[in-house]
Amino acid sequence: MGDKVILLVEDNPVDVSITQRAFKKANILNRVVVMQDGVEALDYSFGGGVYAGRELDDQPILILLDLKLPRVDGLEVPRRIRADERTKLLPAVILTSSREEADVVAGYSLGANSYVRKPVNSEEFAEAVRQLGLYWMILNEDPPVRGG
């Protein structure tokens, strides 16, 4: 379990840094793979673009998605992941500063497993990340991986 990666889709390096620090402080030692935008995230997930030929059996244990991303919108990523047979069971959590109701509803309806608002307070933020990681990586079993 510990060799599985956490896919963090986030274009803000400050947020990336804070999130990584929160994982570390919560003793979650999985490698955090950071994608700068939606296109990169999808390429990684489906072995396209610069990630052509990547071993697709090695899927992330958790995807954390920022909603506001360059190029492909954050909501588009979970939609595409859910639409594909290989990745549809991956846990995806929308991690955003938006509190817009429309975003929340859209996120859930597109297959996000969870929707977490990033608090400004760094202690609260660290606590939210810790709980998310624990919930999805420890309480949830591994998703069945295709092939094998």
When asked if residue 24 is in the footprint of another protein (CB under 8 A), the reply is no
Among 15, 32, 39, which Cα is nearest to 95's?
A: 15
Among 144, 140, 79, which Cα is nearest to 111's?
A: 79
Give residues 127-146 in contact with another protein (rule: CB under 8 A).
none
**Among positions 4, 5, 20, 21, the unique one binding another protein when judged by CB under 8 A:** 21
Among 109, 106, 111, 80, which Cα is nearest to 93's?
A: 111
When asked if residue 122 is in the footprint of another protein (CB under 8 A), the reply is yes
**Secondary structure element (H or E) that encloses residue 94, with its range:** strand 92-96
**Among positions 32, 125, 128, 133, the unique one binding another protein when judged by CB under 8 A:** 125
3-state SS assignment for residue 110: coil
Position 124, amino acid:
E
Stretches 10-18, 38-46, 77-85, 104-112: which one binds another protein (CB under 8 A)? 10-18
Residues that bind another protein (CB under 8 A): 12, 14-15, 17-18, 21, 67-68, 96-100, 118-123, 125
